[in-house]
């Protein structure tokens, strides 16, 4: 086996994962993978540092995928002169124009659209725009200022200054709450939160959530998460999130960094990094099972569907639960009124059973705004029993229990966010 064949064999899985995520048509993806391998074969001798083979290969893949979508965009009659590629969400779900930005641009005049495109998307300086359009520099400056102001006026979402966002304090003890089954049918909901972190991966978003021990209801820790800017991983654009976890008992603080992406239909993690023994370690969606076992979800890490509807894959009657289809581990199981303190929330209960660990079940109560009201974790009776030396019915004998496909799961802890306070 040649050096090239060995390196290609070692990296064929991340290559396929990358292409299959970005290309929505599997037959086209297979053709592109073959094309990438052919180009890599022909250009391998030009690669001086063979240890950089993986990044070099993904670079070729990125170019080929971009070429594919440029051609598709032309075939779909999407003008790349008026709509930047950065406004197109390129993923396994195809080419999707970002509706809000598109509609805002449509509301502007031709001159405003033209100068915004040249300045922001072609990255031309004002001097270069002056030469391109054969107009005085002063005209470019005034026209650009006017176009920015017009865009701001028409854009429906206003940016919030960081100083305007005030972190709300969470209570030391979780208030008493009540969960009541509603007679009304469950509603469909669009939830854009990152699963497990409750933050929406959009610029200027912040949230704080705390985890509370049950039955004491005392806070164990709280996490402050904020989106700090745009980021890109392997050519896929997302946002960077910093999450600072504060441990109440030890008063220690841990910092973790994520890159996440939100499309019109899905939400997913692209990368995670943290410090370990003074070394910052980073894992991305191409890093095989190391990443997928902790942060990935779906085929080729396509992510979570943001539009949640009842699939009838999980049936719930009281605290008795039947998982009918094991491939559907996340489903709406009913509509509930959750009353926390003196506030009542109309929610649907979304259950996640065994999606990361077959012995863990999650109840997530989500309101019509797509925000988490209450998040509850249950452990299968023998989960980590070797570590703790006991089963959970022994450790937490008074805690609520679920019976899932005949097995006992015990309520461990709850999470709430500052959204409800």
In this prediction, residue 322 carries a pLDDT of: 93
Return all residues near 420 (Cβ < 8 A) that are at least 6 apart: 340, 343, 345, 373
**Which positions of the chain have pLDDT values less than 70?**
72-106, 120-123, 155-168, 288-289, 326-328
In this prediction, residue 84 carries a pLDDT of: 41
In this prediction, residue 103 carries a pLDDT of: 57
Q: Distance between CA 309 and CA 302 in Å, rounded? A: 18
User: In the chain, what are the domain boundaries?
Assistant: 3-75, 98-154, 174-191+306-421, 198-298
Check if the beta carbon of residue 415 is closer than 8 Å to that of residue 212: yes
Q: What is the pLDDT of residues 159-201, one digit of tens each?
A: 433 333 333 479 999 999 999 999 999 999 999 999 888 999 9
In this prediction, residue 27 carries a pLDDT of: 84
In this prediction, residue 309 carries a pLDDT of: 95
Task: Give one DSSP letter per residue of 100-167, joined into a string.
Answer: HHHHHHHTS-HHHHHHHIIIIIS---HHHHHHHHT--HHHHHHHHHHHHHHHHHH-SS----GGG--P
Check if the beta carbon of residue 127 is closer than 8 Å to that of residue 137: yes
- Would you call 381 exposed, middle or buried from its count of C-beta atoms within 10 A (0-12, 13-18, 19+)? middle
In this prediction, residue 74 carries a pLDDT of: 54
Domains 3-75 and 98-154 share a fold: no
In this prediction, residue 106 carries a pLDDT of: 66
Domain 3-75 of CATH type 1.10.1740.10: yes
Return all residues near 317 (Cβ < 8 A) that are at least 6 apart: none
If one looks up domain 98-154 in CATH, what number appears?
A: 1.10.10.10
Q: Distance between CA 269 and CA 292 in Å, rounded? A: 10
In this prediction, residue 135 carries a pLDDT of: 87
- Would you call 244 exposed, middle or buried from its count of C-beta atoms within 10 A (0-12, 13-18, 19+)? middle
CA 116 to chain centre: 29
Q: Where are the alpha helices (DSSP H) in 78-118?
A: 99-106, 110-116
In this prediction, residue 407 carries a pLDDT of: 95
Q: What is the pLDDT of residues 295-331, one digit of tens each?
A: 888 777 778 889 999 999 999 999 999 998 766 578 9
């Amino acid at each position: 086996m040649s050096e090239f064949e060995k390196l290609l064999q070692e990296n064929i899985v991340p290559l396929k994962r990358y292409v299959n995520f970005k290309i929505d048509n599997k037959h086209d993806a297979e053709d592109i993978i073959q094309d990438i391998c052919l180009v890599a074969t022909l250009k391998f001798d030009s690669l001086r540092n063979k240890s950089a083979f993986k990044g070099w290969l993904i670079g070729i893949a990125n170019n080929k995928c971009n070429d594919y979508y440029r051609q598709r965009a032309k075939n779909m009659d999407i003008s790349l002169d008026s709509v930047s590629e950065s406004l197109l969400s390129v993923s396994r779900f195809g080419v999707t124009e970002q509706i809000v930005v598109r509609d805002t641009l449509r509301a502007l005049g031709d001159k405003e659209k033209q100068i915004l495109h040249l300045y922001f998307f072609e990255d031309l300086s004002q001097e270069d725009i002056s030469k391109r359009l054969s107009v005085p520099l002063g005209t470019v400056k005034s026209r650009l200022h006017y176009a920015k102001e017009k865009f701001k006026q028409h854009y429906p979402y206003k940016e919030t200054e960081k100083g305007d966002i005030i972190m709300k304090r969470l209570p030391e003890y979780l208030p008493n709450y009540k969960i009541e089954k509603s007679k009304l049918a469950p509603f469909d909901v669009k939830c854009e939160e990152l699963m497990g972190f409750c933050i929406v991966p959009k610029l200027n978003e912040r949230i704080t959530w705390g985890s509370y021990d049950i039955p004491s209801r005392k806070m164990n820790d709280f996490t402050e998460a904020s989106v700090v800017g745009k980021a890109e991983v392997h050519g896929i654009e997302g946002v960077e999130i910093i999450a600072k976890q504060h441990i109440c008992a030890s008063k220690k603080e841990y910092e973790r960094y994520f890159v996440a992406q939100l499309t019109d239909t899905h939400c997913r993690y692209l990368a995670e990094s943290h410090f370990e023994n003074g070394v910052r370690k980073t894992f991305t969606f191409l890093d095989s099972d190391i990443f997928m076992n902790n942060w990935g979800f779906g085929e080729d890490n396509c992510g979570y569907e943001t539009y949640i509807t009842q699939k009838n894959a999980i049936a719930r009657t009281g605290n008795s639960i039947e998982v009918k289809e094991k491939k559907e581990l996340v489903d709406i199981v009913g509509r509930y009124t959750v009353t926390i303190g003196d506030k009542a929330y109309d929610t649907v209960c979304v259950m996640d059973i065994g999606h990361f660990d077959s012995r863990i079940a999650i109840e997530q109560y989500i309101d019509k705004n797509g925000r988490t009201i209450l998040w509850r974790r249950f452990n299968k009776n023998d989960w980590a029993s070797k570590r703790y030396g006991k089963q959970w019915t022994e450790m937490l004998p008074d805690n609520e229990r679920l019976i899932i496909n005949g097995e006992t799961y015990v309520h461990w802890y709850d999470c709430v966010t500052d959204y409800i306070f």
